[in-house]
Structure formats: structure tokens, C-alpha cells
Amino acid sequence: LFHSVALAPRDPILGLNEAFAADTRPGKVNLGVGVYYDAEGRLPLMRAVREAERERLATPTAHGYLPIDGIAAYDAAVQQLLFGAEAAAVTERRVVTVQSLGGTGALKVGADFLHALDPSAKVAISTPSWANHRGIFENAGFEVIDYPYYDAASHAVDIDGLLAALDGFAPGTIVVLHACCHNPTGVDLDTAQWRQVVERMQARELVPFLDIAYQGFGDGIEPDAAAIRLFEASGLPMFVASSFSKSFSLYGERVGALSVVAASDDEARRVQSQLKRVVRTNYSNPPTYGAALVSHVLHTPALRAMWEDELGAMRERIRAMRRGLVARLAAHGATGDFGFIERQRGMFSYSGLDAAQVARLAEEFGIYAVSSGRICVAALNEGNLDTVAGAIAAVGR
């Protein structure tokens, strides 16, 4: 049966965890996967989450099935974070949200639903994009195409290239956009550029599919949702895949959501019924634990305030690490101006290192990064900053 099965390549991001785990050098550093570590290099258990766990444990509950679309209170909390409580789509009940297995699960449910709707539509992703975007949409049956996004020379968005590409797409093309903290570049559109994108997409009748996995890591919970709010105000039908893996440090609990904005309450109910079919035929219904914790925190004012404070501190620590990296690179005599690292947002920096230099970082220094040159700044700390800067300077010479 399996004689013709080919060996699949290692995942370009999660595969690095395997290589890192196999490395026996004590000073090794994992800058691969997008995970936030604290100043001591530990994966945080957030205080708000710990408190929610304690409060929930006080009244033990049996482990029943969730509804197919998840915990209703969780879905409502997601809508408020993404769109704002006052958004017309929310108050007019035109948004449907289904709890999903992380952001990846949300993308997959949306992709399956869209493919059933129009299998001939193309899906456009940014150059570069999160490595899994292409795989998810191709596996759902779509042809995936690219649009220009990052200009390496200026370390900025190639807005002219992006807008020209949108103008050339056929109506109905699904355009995957990173709502904030673009993965892998850390370079986002500004508000004026988002407005231009929304206008072009409206004119061309394109379908926005926003991916927001890092809300709160850019400028804050509200400002990071600005692009979603602009699209919502435009009245376009839209998709949003969101995740709490990073913002609640609940990676392994797979807590995400897919939200779809429709033209009417009635349309939304019909979309919801189809999303539930996709979920039911893939994995039946979602797991309880992580979403119950998130819902508990978001619906308990004191815990919500605690969470926002903690998230703010994480954001500030990443910014400090960006400043620290730029300063140490200069101190190590690294070739070139790395000031752009401070302007990038979210967990990642697109360092400009090529695949050969990234391979040297792993082989010679035990420092693991994505072969595209993406490094996870959120894994830096005072204990490893100097080693990392020295190694980057060395491979850049």
C-alpha cells in the first residue's frame, strides 16, 4: 500500500522545533516558530489565564460536547474584539463566528466553505506570506496566486505593486491579508494604504480574507483591529481568521475563530449553517478547555484588564528586544543598517539573511531561524541577545 508514498519535507516552521530539540549544545536559541517567551526565556502562563483556571476549577464541570460552532459566549467575545461592540455588522447580526482549532483551523474551515461556493475562484496571498497559507488553500482545492507585498530594498510595503495586482484580479478572487503584524515581514500597511486596498477590493468585487493571529502585539488590541474595522465599514462580505494562541499564550489549546460578515441577518444564518457542516464533517465540534478560559477572561472585567496589561507588557518587551538587537548588531560591527528592525511590528523580523546564512546560524551557532530569514524577536532576551547579534554579524560578513 505505501510503497509509492514519498517522504514529505519537514514543515519550514514547526520542523525547526524538531531540529532545535535534537541540538545538544547548551547555548542553542530557537528563533524559528512564532512563540512569545518571557525575559527569562520561559513560555508564560499568563496571570489572567491562571486565575481563570483557578476560578473554573472551583466548580468542576463534566466534559460534554460543545455545540458545533463552539461556546456562544466565546464567539460573541471574539466578535467584539475584532469588530467592536458597536459595529453595524455585529448589531445587525450579520456576523457569524464559529470557534475553531486555532487560526489555522479557521483558515481551513473558511477555505472549505469558499471552495464549495466557487471552486474556480483563485486565492491570492502576499509575497512573502506565512508558509502555511499556500498549503491550506491548495489543500482545499484552490489555485493559489501571489501579490507583491514586501519591498526588500526599502523594507516597506510595495503599495503600488499591491494595488496594481488587485486591479488585475478577476472578480471573486479571495485575497488573504494579514490584518496586523504581517508574518513573516513585520511590515504593515498604514491606515491610508488600507483605505486604498479596501477601495480597490470593493471596485473589483474581491473577497477579503483577513488573518489576525497577533492582535495586541502591534500597537494594541483596538488599533491592531483597524483594518478589520475598515473592511467591515465598507459593507464588503468578508472573512476573518483569528487566534488566541499568542495573545493568551494558549498555543497547545488551539483556540481560534472564523468570523464571516454577510449582507443580512438571513444570509448570515445560512452561512452559519454551512460553516457548521464543514466543522461537523471535519472534526465534529471543537474542544472546550481553551475557549472556556478565554471566554471567562474576556467576560470578567477584572481579568480582562489584567490580560490587557499583560499583553501590553509583552508588546513592550518585544519592542525593547528590537532596540536591543539593533544596538548589539551595531556593537558587533554588523554590515549594514539594521534600523528597520525597530520599525517592524509583532513577533517577527525579516532580517534580510538568506537561506545559506540561516543554515550557518544553525550549524555554527545553534541559532535556529526560518530559512526565509524570519527571526522571532519574541524569543530574544538579555541572556541570548548578545550571542544572537554576534552570530548574525558573523554570518553577514
Backbone Cα Rg of the chain: 21
Helix (H) or strand (E) holding 278: helix 265-282
Beta bridge partners of 258: 98, 241
Q: Is 211 a catalytic residue?
A: yes
∠ Cα 146 150 152 (to 5°) = 130
Binding test (CB under 6 A) with ligand LMR, winner from 34, 105, 324, 396: 34
DSSP β-ladder status, 143-148 and 150-151: unpaired
Q: Rounded to the nearest 5°, which phi and psi values hold at 283?
A: -145, 20
Nearer to ligand LMR, 173 or 216 (CB): 216
Q: Which of 28, 112, 130, 224 is catalytic?
A: 130
Q: Which of residues 210-229 bind ligand LMR (CB under 6 A)?
A: 213
- The binding track of 1-30 with respect to ligand LMR, each residue x by CB under 6 A or -, is ------------x-----------------
Residue with cell 493571529: 213
Nearest to residue 147, comparing CAs of 131, 168, 133? 168
33 counts as binding ligand LMR under rule CB under 6 A: yes
CB of 347 to ligand LMR, least distance (A): 8
Q: Which of residues 283-312 bind ligand LMR (CB under 6 A)?
A: none
Q: Is 38 a catalytic residue?
A: no
Please name the residues in contact with 18: beta carbons below 8 A apart, sequence gap of 6 or more.
10
Please name the residues in contact with 97: beta carbons below 8 A apart, sequence gap of 6 or more.
69, 75, 76, 78, 79, 257, 258, 259, 260
Nearer to ligand LMR, 13 or 89 (CB): 13
Nearer to ligand LMR, 33 or 262 (CB): 33
Cα(350)–Cα(199) distance, integer angstroms: 28
Q: Are 100 and 113 in contact (CB under 8 A)?
A: no
Q: Are 70 and 254 in contact (CB under 8 A)?
A: no
Q: Are 349 and 292 in contact (CB under 8 A)?
A: no
Q: Is 246 a catalytic residue?
A: yes
CB of 241 to ligand LMR, least distance (A): 11
CB of 127 to ligand LMR, least distance (A): 16
Nearer to ligand LMR, 217 or 365 (CB): 217
Cα(296)–Cα(74) distance, integer angstroms: 8
Nearer to ligand LMR, 144 or 213 (CB): 213
CB of 350 to ligand LMR, least distance (A): 12
Q: Which of 69, 112, 158, 211 is catalytic?
A: 211
CB of 164 to ligand LMR, least distance (A): 27
Counting residues that bind ligand LMR (by CB under 6 A) gives 7
384 counts as binding ligand LMR under rule CB under 6 A: no
Residue nearest to ligand LMR (CB): 34
* Amino acid at the residue 327: A
130 counts as binding ligand LMR under rule CB under 6 A: yes
- If you ran DSSP here, which 8-state letter would residue 6 be given? P
Nearer to ligand LMR, 33 or 392 (CB): 33
* Amino acid at the residue 112: D
How many other C-beta atoms can be found within 10 angstroms of the C-beta atom of residue 84? 15
Q: Which of 28, 188, 194, 246 is catalytic?
A: 246
Longest C-alpha distance within the chain, in Å? Answer: 62
CB of 14 to ligand LMR, least distance (A): 6
183 counts as binding ligand LMR under rule CB under 6 A: yes
Instruction: Using CA atoms of 298, 302, 305, 309 in order, give the dihedral in degrees to the nearest 10.
Output: -120
242 counts as binding ligand LMR under rule CB under 6 A: no
CB of 383 to ligand LMR, least distance (A): 22
100 counts as binding ligand LMR under rule CB under 6 A: no
CB of 150 to ligand LMR, least distance (A): 15
Cα(123)–Cα(73) distance, integer angstroms: 32
369 counts as binding ligand LMR under rule CB under 6 A: no
Nearer to ligand LMR, 169 or 368 (CB): 368
Q: Which residues contact ligand LMR (rule: CB under 6 A)?
A: 13, 33-34, 130, 132, 183, 213
Catalytic residue numbers read 130, 211, 246
